[in-house]
Amino acid sequence: MKIAIISDTHDNMANIKKALDYINGQKITELIHCGDVCAPITMVEIAEQFKGNINLCIGNVDGDPFRMLQRVQDGKAPNVTIHQEVGEFTIDGKKIAINHYPKIAKALAKTGDYDLVFYGHNHKPWVEKIGKTQLVNPGNVANIINAPTLAIYDTVTDNLELIKLDEI
């Protein structure tokens, strides 16, 4: 099974659409967003364009988590699970943690409790192995600071691929 990981979309709807078109074209049914969606309506748009399961952690520019949660609970994005600072869940036998911040994500990876830890915030794509845990920043979709990227992880092959949005 393949999982798509994005972060720091910052309301850039053109790049969000491009990323989701690619993800949908790969027949991926699980999406992780590592925060900084920005406006709740953007999360609703993401949920409408991607029909699979979405796990989202709140980032520093997402404002009041209650607003995001309220929008999702209003039935506008029923396929979204919102996690506060840290999200923990299992997909296809892989124990996953998500967080927006590098320092917290690295601490989570160091525990050895997870197969994968995903984070965002600094917009820099990064892959690091800490013990048995892959620590991954998919970069940013918004095209801020660094070129826009996303990540695709295959649970069967344990392969992680960083995708440059400008090359798809």
Residue-wise pLDDT for 97-130, tens only, equals 999 999 999 999 999 999 999 999 999 999 999 9
Tokens linked to 26:
């790969």
Q: What share of the chain is helix, strand, coil (3-state, %, to 5)?
A: 30, 30, 40
Q: Are 115 and 108 in contact (CB under 8 A)?
A: no
Domain boundaries, the chain: 2-167
pLDDT bin (cut points 50, 70, 90) of residue 142 is very high
Query: What fold, for 2-167?
Result: Purple Acid Phosphatase; chain A, domain 2 (3.60.21)
Dump pLDDT digits (tens) for 42-100. Answer: 998 999 999 999 999 999 988 766 666 666 667 678 899 988 889 999 999 999 999 99
Q: Is the pTM of this model over 0.75?
A: yes
Q: How far apart are CA 67 and CA 55, in angstroms?
A: 16
Q: Which two tokens stand for residue 19?
A: 């990323």
With beta carbons less than 8 A apart as the criterion, state whether 41 and 68 touch.
no
